[in-house]
């Protein structure tokens, strides 16, 4: 478990040098960030992360500038910094492990990336926004923000070219009109009119940014237009499978895999169906951290403790590590009980056999529940 220690922060909500659990630190940081924004002030909070029950050596240090609007909570602050770091391959796994540990102990509400909607869409009636999926709102706000900044930059550039008369003013005017049109498309999408933005993306496929392609693909997936998504990603069926798998929709994954079968899709579906032995027979699967965790668990459920330990080295999932330890301990206890039952049967101690058998059944239930 992760813990946080703030070494410099002048606020009653945090005690200096106090060790607090990561989830509590994130929750408090979100509250303090909100307070600082409302009071229009900034506070610098120096902190470091440690592993609970470790020697106290920091695994991450940083400074969270409360009230700066740069991040809504401590987790988002750390995540943003880690993603921006330029590190070598040797430390890339350490980064992924830390991100995984933070995400595993947090409720989803703290994992949502914040976008300041009022800056880019100030004229939009917020009360009319439909109940879009969270990823849709975040993606639309994000891209709308980028386009808005582009629009502002274009407008500023226009004022310069008009003053010196060295550029084609009409061309820039048309560009501003096009950017404004894009903003309108995002506003319609926020109000539930996905058809409008889908139509726009379809007409401008060749000119879409990476962010726009991602949003376009997700909107198409919502409508189960799998062929269109595959075409969008130039027939990379494996990538599209991973995209669907990331969304966590098993039913949609089954539909997609029926039309575009891949080893990765088969792997994910076998795990969902708890067919762990069949999963382990697949050898040509592109492994991700998530699939490595799935494979570790599959080894465990099939009783291959050593295989689970070996695969754990590729993902370092703390929860799986604890499951392996528990599985190993229960397996040893069951073996000892079987020996004790045999001895009791030979001695014709029926009462002992019954007690031991009851205990064995209880341990087997625990083993199955892992």
First to last CA, the chain: 19
**Residue tagged 């050596």 (tokens):** 57
With beta carbons less than 8 A apart as the criterion, state whether 58 and 50 touch. yes
- What burial class does residue 142 get, using C-beta atoms within 10 Å of its C-beta: 0-12 exposed, 13-18 middle, 19+ buried? middle
Distances (CA, A) of 106 to 46, 75, 80, 209: 21, 9, 16, 31
Q: Is residue 42 part of a domain?
A: yes
Q: For residue range 144-184, what is the model confidence (pLDDT) as tens digits?
A: 554 544 444 444 444 444 444 444 444 444 444 555 555 55
133 domain-assigned: yes
175, 135: one domain: yes
Q: Which of 42, 38, 45 is nearest to 9 (CA)?
A: 45
Whether residues 125 and 204 fall in one domain: yes
Q: Are residues 219 and 124 in the same domain?
A: yes
How much is the pLDDT for 297? Answer: 96
Q: Which residues contact 274 (CB under 8 A, 6 or more apart)?
A: 301
Total domains in the fold of the chain: 3
> Are 360 and 334 within 8 A, CB to CB?
yes
Contacts of 320 (CB under 8 A, 6+ apart): 293, 296, 297, 300, 308, 312
Shared domain for 53 and 138, answered yes or no, is no
Q: Which long-range contacts (CB under 8 A, 24 or more apart) does 302-307 make?
A: 302/276, 302/277, 303/331, 304/280, 305/331, 307/280
User: CB under 8 Å to 364, separation ≥6 — which residues?
Assistant: 334
Predicted confidence pLDDT, tens digits, the chain (370 residues): 899 999 888 888 888 888 999 999 999 999 999 999 989 899 999 999 998 877 778 888 889 999 988 899 999 999 988 888 776 665 777 777 888 888 888 887 888 777 654 434 434 444 444 445 555 555 555 555 545 444 444 444 444 444 444 444 444 444 445 555 555 555 544 445 567 778 888 888 887 887 778 888 888 888 889 999 999 988 889 888 888 887 767 889 999 999 999 999 999 999 999 999 999 999 888 888 889 999 999 999 999 999 999 999 988 889 999 999 999 999 999 999 998 888 888 888 888 888 899 999 999 999 998 8
Residues 40 and 82 in one domain: yes
Residue 70 placed within a domain: yes
Lookup: tokens for 78: 């750390």
Helices (H), the chain: 22-39, 74-84, 89-104, 117-120, 134-164, 169-190, 194-203, 210-222, 226-232, 237-247, 250-259, 263-272, 276-281, 289-301, 305-312, 318-346, 350-369
User: Helices 305-312 and 318-346 meet at what angle, rounded to 10?
Assistant: 170
Angle, CA of 340, 345 and 347, to the nearest 5°: 95
Q: How far apart are CA 280 and CA 295, in angstroms?
A: 7
Residue 6 is assigned to a structural domain of this protein: yes
Q: Are residues 134 and 103 in the same domain?
A: no
pTM over 0.85? The answer is no
pLDDT of residue 140: 55
Phi, psi of 47 (to 5 degrees): -150, 170
- Contact yes or no for 45/8 (Cβ under 8 A): yes
Same domain, 99 and 123: no
Q: How many residues does the chain have?
A: 370
- Supply φ then ψ for residue 6, to 5 degrees: -90, 125
From 177, 194, 223, the end of a domain falls on 223
> Residue 51, class by beta-carbon neighbours within 10 Å (0-12 exposed, 13-18 middle, 19+ buried)?
middle
Burial of 120 by CB count in 10 Å (0-12 exposed, 13-18 middle, 19+ buried)?
Answer: buried
In a domain, 231, yes or no: no
Distance (Å, rounded) from C-alpha 167 to C-alpha 170?
A: 9
pLDDT digits (tens, 9 = 90+) for 115-153: 654 434 434 444 444 445 555 555 555 555 545 444 444
Domain final residue pick, 72, 97, 113: 113
- For residues 85 and 144, membership in a common domain is answered with no
Q: Are residues 6 and 109 in the same domain?
A: yes
| Residue 13 is assigned to a structural domain of this protein | yes
Same domain membership, residue 211 and residue 147: yes
Task: Note whether residue 57 is domain-resident.
Answer: yes
Residue 97: domain span? 2-113
Give which of 228, 128, 127, 113 is closest to 188, Cα–Cα. 128
Tens digit of each residue's pLDDT (9 = 90 or more) over 284-309: 888 888 899 999 999 999 999 999 99
Does residue 267 sit within a domain? Answer: no
- Say yes or no: 99 and 120 in one domain: no
Among residues 85, 113, 141, the one where a domain terminates is 113
> Among positive and negative, which fits the CA dihedral 144, 150, 154, 156?
positive
- Placement of tokens 């592109």 in the chain: 286
Supply 292's token pair. 């490595």
Angle at the Cα of 187 (from 206 to 131), degrees rounded to 5? 110
Kindly state whether residues 39 and 95 are assigned to the same domain.
yes
């Amino acid at each position: 478990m992760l813990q946080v220690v703030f070494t410099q922060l002048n606020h009653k909500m945090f005690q200096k040098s106090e060790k607090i659990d990561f989830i509590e630190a994130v929750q408090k940081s979100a509250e303090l960030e909100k307070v600082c924004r409302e009071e229009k002030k900034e506070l610098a909070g120096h902190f470091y992360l440690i592993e609970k029950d470790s020697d106290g050596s920091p695994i991450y240090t940083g400074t969270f500038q409360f009230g700066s609007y740069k991040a809504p909570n401590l987790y988002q602050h750390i995540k943003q910094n880690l993603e921006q770091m330029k590190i070598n391959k040797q430390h890339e796994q350490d980064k992924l492990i830390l991100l995984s540990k933070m995400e595993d102990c947090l409720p989803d509400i703290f994992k949502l990336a914040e976008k300041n909607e009022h800056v880019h869409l100030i004229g939009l009636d917020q009360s009319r926004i439909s109940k879009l999926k969270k990823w849709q709102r975040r993606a639309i706000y994000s891209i709308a923000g980028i386009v808005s900044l582009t629009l502002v930059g274009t407008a500023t550039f226009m004022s310069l070219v008009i003053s010196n008369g060295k550029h084609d003013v009409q061309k820039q005017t048309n560009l501003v009109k096009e950017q404004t049109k894009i903003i309108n498309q995002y506003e319609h999408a926020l109000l539930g009119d996905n058809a409008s933005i889908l139509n726009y993306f379809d007409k401008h496929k060749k000119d879409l940014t990476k962010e726009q392609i991602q949003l376009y693909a997700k909107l198409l997936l919502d409508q189960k237009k799998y062929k269109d998504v595959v075409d969008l990603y130039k027939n990379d069926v494996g990538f599209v499978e991973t995209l669907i798998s990331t969304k966590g929709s098993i039913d949609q994954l089954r539909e997609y895999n029926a039309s575009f079968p891949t080893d990765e899709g088969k792997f994910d579906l076998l795990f969902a169906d708890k067919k762990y032995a069949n999963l382990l027979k697949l050898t040509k699967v592109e492994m991700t951290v998530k699939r490595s965790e799935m494979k570790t668990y599959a080894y465990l459920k099939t009783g291959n403790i050593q295989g689970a330990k070996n695969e754990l080295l590729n993902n370092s999932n703390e929860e799986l590590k604890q499951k392996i330890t528990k599985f190993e301990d229960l397996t040893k206890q069951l073996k000892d009980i079987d020996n004790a039952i045999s001895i009791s049967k030979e001695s014709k101690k029926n009462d002992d056999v019954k007690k031991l058998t009851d205990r064995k059944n209880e341990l087997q239930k625990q083993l199955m529940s892992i």
